[in-house]
Structure formats: structure tokens, C-alpha cells
Amino acid sequence: MTTQNHHQVLIVGGGSAGITVAAHLMNVARPPQIAIIEPSEKHYYQPLWTLVGGGVFPREESERNEADFIPAGVQWIKERVATFDPDQNALTLQNGGRLTYDYLIVAAGIQIDWGKIKGLKESLGKNGVCSNYSYDSVGSTWDNIRSFKQGGTAIFTQPSTPIKCGGAPQKIAYLAEDYFAKHGVRANSKVVFMHAGASIFAVKKYADALTQVAKRKQIDVRFQRELVEIRPESREAVFKLGTPEGGEEVVKYDLLHVTPPMSAPDFIKTSKLAASTGWVEVNKHTMQHTRYANVYALGDCSNLPTSKTGAAIRKQAPALAANLIAQLNGETSSASYDGYTSCPLVTGYGSLIMAEFDYDLKPKETFPFDQSKERYSMYALKAYGLPQMYWNGMLRGRV
Ligand SMILES: Cc1cc2nc3c(=O)[nH]c(=O)nc-3n(C[C@H](O)[C@H](O)[C@H](O)COP(=O)(O)OP(=O)(O)OC[C@H]3O[C@@H](n4cnc5c(N)ncnc54)[C@H](O)[C@@H]3O)c2cc1C
């Protein structure tokens, strides 16, 4: 490695959070010296994967070269972090290298635990089993939806763990249902949404609206059902029941869309930066670590008690950057994050409920109309407006 070993600000992860916070830090009059550690050559706009799974866009539309989004003046270290040593202001890399820092920002995203569901890894992408939750598997969702020509049972799952974009598991169920209805197979098919939790959405206003959407579409919504096993030979999905009686339910499927369990990345879980839950433990308003004053975290890997979305990061990044710059200059900062997050709930091709809320699960809506109503304008915003805003605005620290 030809890079220096000490950095003023070291950012771990160059995904949505890492790039956005770096851009905000570079937008000040005298920016600090910054390096981003990111192993991937590619950057993904993951919110598009819902529409990729629904066949609206090819998956390539969600992919760009990472190099084009590392802010000018920021050094890119194309490596993977292995361990943290916050008592020594240091971390180690998978190639054996060791780097030190004055300030650390952890933005390493969430870990997808594919292995936690028996039979999932072996069946993903084959014989009706698909998932929008990775670039490699998202194409299989669309393949399965469009080839569902005989009808049958289509199951969509949501696990009990925190996940990125809490609404995504049901969005793809609504798109599939709409596709089946438009292509004459709805009468021959059963659409089932199996949710390990006890309610369809965390915010009552939107939950009420979504309950009506599912009812209108005659989607069979069942709660407290955690997918634990897939038996590909017999096309059976096994669900553990969360009800007091316990037990399991075995359902035959023709199409099975899996939202896998997720957790904090292992290298964070096993580090001193982790809370007991495994996420990086930070103050929920300042995003500063609760035990290491020169460490911050944001995005999916943090323990910020809000829904894990890119929309949340858009509000976290400028506040974190303002707090870090103030600390660096020996000043105080009043920048505070209020838990804002947003979930564009696609309910069909051309309709969407735009949920926006804060830490108190109170709606925090942008538009002067009731956002719990399904609208084409909000669908158009998600499909055509937000991707542009992401690539040209958010990742540049402009919005
Ligand atoms: C199907 C789907 C639909 C979604 N829909 C929406 C939506 O409609 N609206 C919305 O706002 N959000 C949505 N999201 C969520 C959004 O994409 C994420 O919340 C956001 O990308 C999180 O950003 P992040 O930077 O925390 O993680 P990521 O963007 O995942 O980036 C993490 C980065 O860390 C890197 N990394 C990992 N381990 C290491 C390591 N050891 N060392 C160095 N680097 C490492 C990774 O390579 C990666 O580049 C959706 C996500 C999915 C999958």
C-alpha cells in the first residue's frame, strides 16, 4: 500500500452513508484530510432494487463506479477493515495493514445473514426462490414474477430482525400482485405476506392505509411467522410461529420472495465500538460514540433507533459533519438529528404512499397533502426523481 498510515478523518465504508458524509465534510471552507476505506469498485443505489425486482428497470441502472463518487480531495483506500482498536485510535485491514486516525466515522452498512435460514443459500435464484436484497439475486425476482404464468401461491416474507428499508418486503408483494392482475393470472393465484412482526408498519397513519391496500388486493397477511427453512425439493417454506402456543406452519409455494434476516457486520459486533445489540453505539442526536469521543457512526450500521434507509442518511450526514467539524475546531455545535426517515411504499405500478416520520413515529411530511394516500406523483418521484437526487445531490453533499 502506498498510502500514508495516519489520517485526520478515516471513514469506514463508501456506501450511501460514507460518501454522503465525506461530501459534506469536504464542502466546508477548510476541509480536513479524509480517507475512505471501501473494498468495492461499484456503488449501488439499492432503493431501486424494488423496481428492478418488479421489472421496471434493469439492475444495471442501480450501479455506478465507486471512483466517480469519492469526493475530490478524498483518498480512497481500496481495502476491507478487519478489526477496530479504538483505545489506540487504530484499525487493522484485511491485508494485514494498520491505520491510525484522529477521528473515525463508521459507515459500513448492514450484514445480510443468508445462512440463518436453512436451505436459503442453496435455493436462492432457483425454482421460485428469489430476493430483492442483493444485486446478484434481484434479477431472479423479476424472472419469477413474469414467468408466474400458471398462477399458484406466491409468498413474500419479512423477518423479525431490523432490516434495511422496513417497507421493502411488502412493496414487492404489491407489485407482484399488480402484475398478476394485469396479466390474467390473479384469479389462479394466492398472494401471501408472511411477517414475523405483529403489525404491517410502525407508524399508525401509514399502517392503517397499508392494511386497506392489502385488503383491497386480497393479499393474505399473516403475522408472527418467521421463515426458518426452505425445502426446495418439495417447494415448502417452514415458518416458526411467534404466537404463545408456538409451533410451526408449513406452506407450499410456487414463488417465494425472501427478505433475509440482517444484523450488524460481524467485525463491528465483535469490536469495542458495539452496543450490546451489535450496532455501533452512538448518541441518537449527535451521532458521536457514547464511549469514544473521536468516533462517529451513521447509516445502517449505527444503533440510531430509526428505520434504516438512505433517506435517513440524507439527514444524518450533514448533522454529523457539522458536529465533527465543530469538535475539530474546538467549537460547540447545535446540529442534531431528529430520527427523520422516509419509506416510499410502492403499492403498484404507478401508485405509492410516501411515508415520512421521526423518532417519535410521528409523520413528518414534506408535501402539502395527505401522504398516506396512494398517488402517481409520489411513484414518479421514487422512480425518476429520487435516483437523480441521490446521484447528483445527496452523494455530492448538496441536498
Ligand atoms: C431492496 C431495498 C430497497 C430499499 N429501499 C429504500 C428506499 O426506498 N428508500 C431508502 O431511503 N432506502 C431504501 N433502502 C435502504 C438503503 O439502500 C440503505 O439504508 C442505505 O444504502 C444504507 O447506507 P449505508 O451506507 O449504511 O450502507 P451501504 O450503502 O450498504 O454501504 C455500506 C458500505 O460499507 C462497505 N463495507 C462493508 N464492510 C466493510 C469493511 N469491513 N471495510 C470497509 N468497508 C466495508 C460496503 O462495501 C458498502 O459499500 C433499500 C434497500 C434495499 C436493499
| Domains present along the chain, CATH in parentheses | 6-110+264-339+392-396 (3.50.50.60), 114-262 (3.50.50.60)
Residue 385 CA to ligand 1 center (angstroms) comes to: 19
pLDDT tens digits, residue range 180-232? 999 999 999 999 999 999 999 999 999 999 999 999 999 999 999 999 999 99
Residue 109 CA to ligand 1 center (angstroms) comes to: 5
How big is the chain by its Cα radius of gyration, in Å?
21
The answer to whether residue 239 scores a pLDDT higher than 80 is: yes
Confidence tier at 151 by pLDDT (50, 70, 90): very high
Contact 318, 336 (CB under 8 A): no
Q: How far apart are the first and last CA of the chain?
A: 34
- Among 16, 84, 141, 394, the mutation site with the greatest number of ligand 1 atoms within 8 A of its Cβ is 16
Decide: helix, strand or coil at residue 384: helix
CA distance 337 to 59: 32
Give pTM, 2 decimals. 0.98
The finding on whether 225 has its CB within 6 A of some atom of ligand 1 is: no
Confidence tier at 57 by pLDDT (50, 70, 90): very high
Confidence tier at 4 by pLDDT (50, 70, 90): confident
Contact 203, 355 (CB under 8 A): yes
| β pairing state of 34-37 and 6-12 | parallel
- Among 137, 142, 300, the mutation site with the greatest number of ligand 1 atoms within 8 A of its Cβ is 300
Opening angle at CA 158, ends 154 and 162, nearest 5? 165
Residue 374 CA to ligand 1 center (angstroms) comes to: 26
Q: Which residues are part of the catalytic machinery?
A: 165, 343
Q: What is the mean pLDDT of residues 266-290?
A: 98
The finding on whether 53 has its CB within 6 A of some atom of ligand 1 is: no
- Among 46, 142, 268, the mutation site with the greatest number of ligand 1 atoms within 8 A of its Cβ is 46
The answer to whether residue 2 scores a pLDDT higher than 90 is: no
The finding on whether 15 has its CB within 6 A of some atom of ligand 1 is: yes
